[in-house]
Amino acid sequence: MSTQSHRTATGGLVDRTKPINFTFDSQSYQGFQGDSLASALLANGVRLFGRSFKYHRPRGLVSAGSEEPNALMQVGIGAYTEPNLRAPQVELYDGLVAESQNRWPSLSFDVGEINNKMSRLFPAGFYYKTFMWPAKMWMTYEHVIRNAAGLGRSPMEDDPDTYEHHHAHTDVLVVGGGAAGLSAALAAGRSGARVMLVTESPEWGGRLKDGATIDGEPGLQWVQAAIAELSGMDNVTLKVRTMVGCYYDHNMLVMLEKSGDHLTKRDHYTPRQRLWQVRAKRVVIAAGAIERPLVFGNNDKPGVMLMSAVRTYAKRFGAKAGSNAIVFANNDTAYQSALDLKDDGIAIQAIVDPRADGGALTQAAIEAGIEVLTGHVIINAKGGKTVTGAEIMALNADASGVTGEIRIIKGDLICVSGGWTPSVHLHSQAKGKTIFDDALTTFVPGATMQAHVSVGACNGTFVLSAALAEGAKAGAEAASKAGHSGKAGSVPSAEDGPSVTPFPVWDVPLPPHVHLKRFVDLQNDVTADDVALAHRENYLSVEHLKRYTTLGMGTDQGRTSNINGLAIMAQLRGVAIPDVGHTTFRPPFQAISLGAITGPSVGDHFEPIRRTGLHDWHVKNGGKFTTAGLWHRADYYPQAGENKLTASLREAKAVRASVGICDVSSLGKIDVQGPDAAEFINRLYVNGFAKLPVGKARYGVMLREDGHVMDDGTVTRLAENRYVVTTTTANAGPVMTHMEYHSQVVWPELDVHVVSVTEEWSAIAIAGPNSRKLLQKVVTDLDISNEGFAFMAYASCTIAGVIGRMFRISFSGELAFEVAIPADKAVSVWEALMIAGQEYNCIPYGAEALGIMRIEKGHVVGGELNGRTTATDLGFEKMISSKKEFIGRFMLGREGLVAADRMQLVGLKPIDGTSEVPRGAQLVANPQALCPVDMEGEVTSNCISPHVGPIGLGILRQGRDRHGEKIFAHSPVTNQTVEVEICHPHFIDPEGDRVRA
């Protein structure tokens, strides 16, 4: 275990009494409670954090936030592992296992570093140029390139964690827990508005944690008081570790709360992450700003860090990024940090400032004993796997070149500050405009499109007192606009900090004949030369520059590189920066894991499962299920040694031999009532219903408006003005919608009400020659003899002691009945039927056997009702009424729908009597013909019938006139070809004697 050699003597917000053990690249380290992975590694003297994407150059930590381009880590092991986590954002926990990425065999010795030596072979866009030919090899090239330039790996195991989804509604959402955000939340909260305040950090305060003075006290005291006050308000919700990632239309925002990532162990009830969908009346964005690096030779060496990050690590975490620092800064903020860092054991060797006269704090720095080199720049960072010093030269008068001798100053840390970039991401996602601020040399929020406002540093307001005031004003206004106008309270005073206004040196000039890599985008290994190359190759648009060079891509999305990159582009083009523009900010601000997006909708909850009232019985009795839409239907009930095929054959046989019962609850049932119910029904179906008497059911076919068949089912007249309509399982929803649409929109004059009663009634089919005998044992108050209860009769009656509905309808082609039972008592009735049926060897049969029997009988379902068939195609032409209006009537007569060569329903039998008719096969005259082959038809249903052997249904061109002909059923999917005979689609009892028995 290594010691924490780079801890400051005292200070920081870490708890030094609580050591935490972790490993990095298999080596054990110790940090403290409150550390980030980055700060703990820094405190242990670690400098090398990773290898760069393309050139595999050694890289160290740059930042202390989400802008980190280099220190990307694979964290966690096994199923818990996650790649590309930014080390500054990973909270340290006991037992944390981190690995560096993109190196082999090890971080300090990486074979891929050869790419750096050969970098002249890999200019921007090299793979577009190099791997153009032969085109078909791209798939191979791409695989190799991706391997060489990978960033971490995804776990292959199922995710063991849980994730939650939340919806939240608030008057004011305040994004950011720094000075401006807290100030806004206080004002809005005091006004009485519902407020949600979120920060992506584990603690509140933003940069106030790095030292500041408010109302004459340390800034953190004010933070604590503010949080205490906000916590006491019922109308305020506080969320830490919560990143607002997406700002969508209508002020809908998505945020990710990392509720469990920082824990060593998470139980089932501690979600790893929560995805919040927030609807906010107003949004106050206080997202802060990110410091810009400077572009100079070898500026990617481990030890070149943002000045603000060095400060954060020292002040917030008590971790020293180095011992002897050279500061390279073009603005005053870095001076302040340099002065403040003296107490933390980081010696400042020099401040290198390109401004000829320095700035407001130059004198203070000199007085503090720091050497200040105004009018100078660092042209090169010296060192290998860590910085050892800097090469410094004087800038010439117009900053276009460097002059004089190179001076070398030794040090193990170069702190850079090139100015500050407001985080306008959310503002821009919300379609807010940006405007270029000449003083800040960057983009700041302009006009907004949605109900939001930016405050503090993200609005270009860097002075603390101004940020506090701006936050308070925005918070009060947001509350007021949301309808709350309580007293917003006072605004604290603060010492104004140093000026952030930079003197831009976008691309530090080099002496003649000196070539050094000057990185613009560290994560994507894009150098100033790459930008120049893109310019030479005529990439003018910033969007093209991004795609060509990859500048601004990756996990950091160019947070530290975009402004520098487009400023260099602007220089090369000789235009102003705003004329180059910036790329589009798209959600999310940071990556959101797929687990969080999926939330709890996994496993059995991937989609809802719809269960019938008999579901538990099927489970208990060994039923296997199939899906029909969301329904789970009993498919077959295997006995010992049976599979799906043998079980369903046995079931179908048993039904035709004696009797079986089947759960048909999933069929749609729609109650239609009203004085105009009869007329309504009549208009829905192609066949006439006006004369259907009460107590009778009739089969009906309905069309879409375009004349194709929509669905079929039965309509039963329960009373003069009341019907119940059944639909196929698949079409229950669409038919209901169809009916509601027509009753509400097309025929509002019809007085009719349609209500889905599918869920109220369980339905059981009792089929087979002994079905009546069985039912007669359990039906006590209805004569169900053929005379008393003819085919298609309906009556209400008592079945096994339960009041239900009895229909004499048949789907199997056998003598059959269907009973509808209020769902709670379906199991009782089903069990009574099974007991009563014992003497007839009654069996339960599933959807598979039901399917076999309906194919034997030539009944059409989904395969035939495929949206392309007409009533005539399916043999229903005699049902079509010519005496009434109905939906689809006019389109039915279209030329194409009455063409002589339409495909019509046929039966299919294999010539050899034994081969299965291939599922989904195409019907062709010559299966050996060269493509394109004339497809005369297709197989829509197939099965092996226990009664007539393998059979199928199909639709075939002019099929009805071709019974007796032979044709080939060829499946290009399974490469099966079977010669079949075209026949009548009714294989069993074509006269229909059985159903009327």
Partner 1 sequence: MPEQTFPAPERRSGIVSHYKTGIHGAATDQPSVTLQERRPLAVFHLAIRDGADGVVKKAGKAFGLDLPTTASTSVSMGGRTALAIAPNTWLLTNNNVAHEADSGAQADELAAAVGDGGAVNDVSQGRCVLRVDGPNSRDVLGKLSPLDVHPSAFGADACATTQMAHVAVTYRRVGDGNAFDLFVSRGFSQHFWEALTHAAGEYGYQVLDAGL
Mark the segment that binds partner 1 (CB under 8 A) among 454-462, 527-535, 604-612, 891-899: 604-612
Mark the segment that binds partner 1 (CB under 8 A) among 58-66, 670-678, 699-707, 957-965: 670-678
Give the nearer residue to partner 1 in terms of CB position, either 237 or 465. Answer: 237
**Which of residues 303, 383, 565, 613 is near partner 1 by CB under 8 A?**
613
- Restricted to residues 623-642, the positions that interact with partner 1 (CB under 8 A) are 631
Q: Under 8 Å CB-to-CB from 228, ≥6 apart: which residues?
A: none
**Which of residues 355, 610, 618, 857 is near partner 1 by CB under 8 A?**
610
Residue 571 CA to residue 115 CA, distance in Å, equals 29
CB 979 within 8 A of CB 910: yes
Query: Do you find a cis peptide bond into 588, omega within 30 degrees of 0?
Result: yes
Q: From the centroid of its chain, how far is CA 882?
A: 52
Measure Cα distances from 423 to 57, 61, 331, 583, 670 in Å. 28, 21, 19, 14, 56
| Residue 123 CB-density burial (10 A; 0-12 exposed, 13-18 middle, 19+ buried) | middle
CA dihedral angle for residue 975, residue 978, residue 980, residue 986, rounded to 10 degrees:
-70
Give the nearer residue to partner 1 in terms of CB position, either 789 or 968. Answer: 789
CA dihedral angle for residue 443, residue 447, residue 452, residue 455, rounded to 10 degrees:
40
Give the nearer residue to partner 1 in terms of CB position, either 170 or 872. Answer: 170
Give the nearer residue to partner 1 in terms of CB position, either 822 or 862. Answer: 822
> In which residue are the tokens 């909850």 written?
605
Question: Is residue 611 at the binding interface for partner 1, with CB under 8 A as the rule?
Answer: yes
Shortest CB 817 distance to partner 1, Å = 15
Give the nearer residue to partner 1 in terms of CB position, either 266 or 984. Answer: 266
Residue 556 CA to residue 565 CA, distance in Å, equals 14
Question: Is residue 824 at the binding interface for partner 1, with CB under 8 A as the rule?
Answer: yes
Question: Is residue 694 at the binding interface for partner 1, with CB under 8 A as the rule?
Answer: no
CB 574 within 8 A of CB 588: no
Helix, coil or strand: residue 256: strand
**Which of residues 410, 586, 605, 966 is near partner 1 by CB under 8 A?**
605
**Which of residues 52, 560, 673, 727 is near partner 1 by CB under 8 A?**
673
**Which of residues 23, 84, 221, 277 is near partner 1 by CB under 8 A?**
277
Question: Is residue 828 at the binding interface for partner 1, with CB under 8 A as the rule?
Answer: yes
**Which of residues 13, 168, 240, 834 is near partner 1 by CB under 8 A?**
168
Which amino acid type is present at position 221? Q
∠564-567-571 over CA atoms, to 5°? 135
Question: Is residue 279 at the binding interface for partner 1, with CB under 8 A as the rule?
Answer: yes
**Which of residues 755, 898, 929, 973 is near partner 1 by CB under 8 A?**
755
CB 130 within 8 A of CB 142: no
| Helix (H) and strand (E) counts in the chain | 23, 49
Question: Is residue 237 at the binding interface for partner 1, with CB under 8 A as the rule?
Answer: no
Question: Is residue 827 at the binding interface for partner 1, with CB under 8 A as the rule?
Answer: yes
Q: Token pair of 604, please?
A: 């059995």
- Restricted to residues 137-166, the positions that interact with partner 1 (CB under 8 A) are 164-166
Give the nearer residue to partner 1 in terms of CB position, either 120 or 620. Answer: 620
Q: Token pair of 70, please?
A: 């280099």
Shortest CB 264 distance to partner 1, Å = 17
**Which of residues 18, 431, 753, 868 is near partner 1 by CB under 8 A?**
753
Give the nearer residue to partner 1 in terms of CB position, either 136 or 167. Answer: 167
Question: Is residue 167 at the binding interface for partner 1, with CB under 8 A as the rule?
Answer: yes
Q: Token pair of 246, please?
A: 């997406």
983 bridge partner residues: 907
Question: Is residue 803 at the binding interface for partner 1, with CB under 8 A as the rule?
Answer: yes
Q: Which of 39, 50, 52, 40 is nearest to 1 (CA)?
A: 40
**Which of residues 137, 609, 645, 925 is near partner 1 by CB under 8 A?**
609
Shortest CB 484 distance to partner 1, Å = 10
Give the nearer residue to partner 1 in terms of CB position, either 748 or 896. Answer: 748
Site string for partner 1, 836-875 (x = CB under 8 A): ----------------------------------------
Give the nearer residue to partner 1 in terms of CB position, either 465 or 776. Answer: 776
Helix, coil or strand: residue 382: strand
CB 953 within 8 A of CB 964: no
Which amino acid type is present at position 129? K
- Restricted to residues 252-271, the positions that interact with partner 1 (CB under 8 A) are 267-271
Question: Is residue 742 at the binding interface for partner 1, with CB under 8 A as the rule?
Answer: no
Shortest CB 767 distance to partner 1, Å = 21
Element (H, E) at 915: none
Q: Under 8 Å CB-to-CB from 801, ≥6 apart: which residues?
A: 828, 832
Backbone angles phi, psi at 408, to 5 degrees: -110, 125
Measure Cα distances from 376 to 403, 534, 563, 581 in Å. 9, 29, 22, 30
Give the nearer residue to partner 1 in terms of CB position, either 727 or 904. Answer: 727
Share in percent of the chain as helix, strand, coil (round to 5)? 25, 30, 45
Shortest CB 917 distance to partner 1, Å = 34
Site string for partner 1, 761-780 (x = CB under 8 A): x--------------xxxxx
- Angle at which helix 333-341 crosses helix 307-317, to 10 degrees, equals 40
Q: How many residues bind partner 1 (CB under 8 A)?
A: 62
Helix, coil or strand: residue 920: coil
Residue 731 CA to residue 735 CA, distance in Å, equals 6
Give the nearer residue to partner 1 in terms of CB position, either 824 or 912. Answer: 824
Question: Is residue 674 at the binding interface for partner 1, with CB under 8 A as the rule?
Answer: yes
Query: Do you find a cis peptide bond into 822, omega within 30 degrees of 0?
Result: no
**Which of residues 82, 200, 507, 671 is near partner 1 by CB under 8 A?**
671
Residue 260 CA to residue 271 CA, distance in Å, equals 6
**Which of residues 11, 19, 486, 822 is near partner 1 by CB under 8 A?**
822
Backbone angles phi, psi at 661, to 5 degrees: -125, 145
Give the nearer residue to partner 1 in terms of CB position, either 422 or 613. Answer: 613
Which amino acid type is present at position 111? V
- Restricted to residues 777-796, the positions that interact with partner 1 (CB under 8 A) are 777-781, 783
Q: From the centroid of its chain, how far is CA 296?
A: 40
**Which of residues 601, 621, 643, 974 is near partner 1 by CB under 8 A?**
601
Question: Is residue 829 at the binding interface for partner 1, with CB under 8 A as the rule?
Answer: yes
Q: Which of 148, 159, 154, 212 is nearest to 183 (CA)?
A: 212
Mark the segment that binds partner 1 (CB under 8 A) among 334-342, 427-435, 456-464, 672-680: 672-680
Mark the segment that binds partner 1 (CB under 8 A) among 18-26, 334-342, 669-677, 854-862: 669-677
Shortest CB 170 distance to partner 1, Å = 9
Task: Give residues in contact with partner 1 (CB under 8 A).
Answer: 164-169, 194, 267-271, 277, 279, 600-601, 604-605, 607-613, 615-616, 631, 671, 673-675, 721-722, 751, 753, 755, 757-761, 776-781, 783, 800-803, 822-829, 832
